[in-house]
Chain A
Amino acid sequence: AQSVTQLGSHVSVSEGALVLLRCNYSSSVPPYLFWYVQYPNQGLQLLLKYTTGATLVKGINGFEAEFKKSETSFHLTKPSAHMSDAAEYFCAVSDRDTDKLIFGTGTRLQVFP
């Protein structure tokens, strides 16, 4: 069965600092991987996705993630945090047959001035 583990339920950074949110997956087949962001009382917005091809994926708002098969990881990074990045971030893996998403438990990012 596919699963996702997000290490660190809370991450705090200063504005301008590097953001690193960790995600490890478990999948018996090559995975499709996603990062979503959720602002308070809102639905989820897709940041980026990896399906095939280039392992370094660039998304919206300056975020990027690298698929590392040997480490079964798909960590999310941003070189310089902005106050508006404060939100909940979810890593997810997609079921190949149904496209249903299996989410991690989320990481809450706080950005301090």
Chain B
Amino acid sequence: DTGVSQNPRHKITKRGQNVTFRCDPISEHNRLYWYRQTLGQGPEFLTYFQNEAQLEKSRLLSDRFSAERPKGSFSTLEIQRTEQGDSAMYLCASSLEVGSYEQYFGPGTRLTVT
């Protein structure tokens, strides 16, 4: 059990550029969650997957955001045409099954849009 990993840990990009983040959940965890955390705030839910199916997307997730989880393993979160308001920490979490209640978080990817 190596924990949830996220790459990159930090990303600086210019406004208008596209960025992609990767999350590798704990092996055999079938639920995967993405959250966004801005300075001084708690994490906010973005979306989640049950295996490869994306089951819910928050209204925070505009059309510029897309997430995938091919084959139910790792997940990617892409932001197109980044804006300064996208600057935040993007957190990934995984859990073993519904009702396990315990989500394990990765270290996060800090995005800075200049």
Contact = CB atoms under 8 A, between A and B. Distances in A.
Contact of B42 (A51, A90, A99): A90
A41 B99 CA distance: 29
A100 B33 contact: yes
B72 interface: no
B91 A101 contact: no
Interface stretch (B63-71, B80-88, B102-110): B102-110
Interface of B: 4, 6, 31, 33, 35, 40-45, 48, 55-56, 91, 93, 95, 98-108, 110
Question: A interface, by DSSP: helix, strand, loop or mixed?
Answer: strand
A72 interface: no
A45 to B, nearest CB: 7
Interface string A97-111: 011111111100000
A46 B102 contact: yes
B100 to A, nearest CB: 8
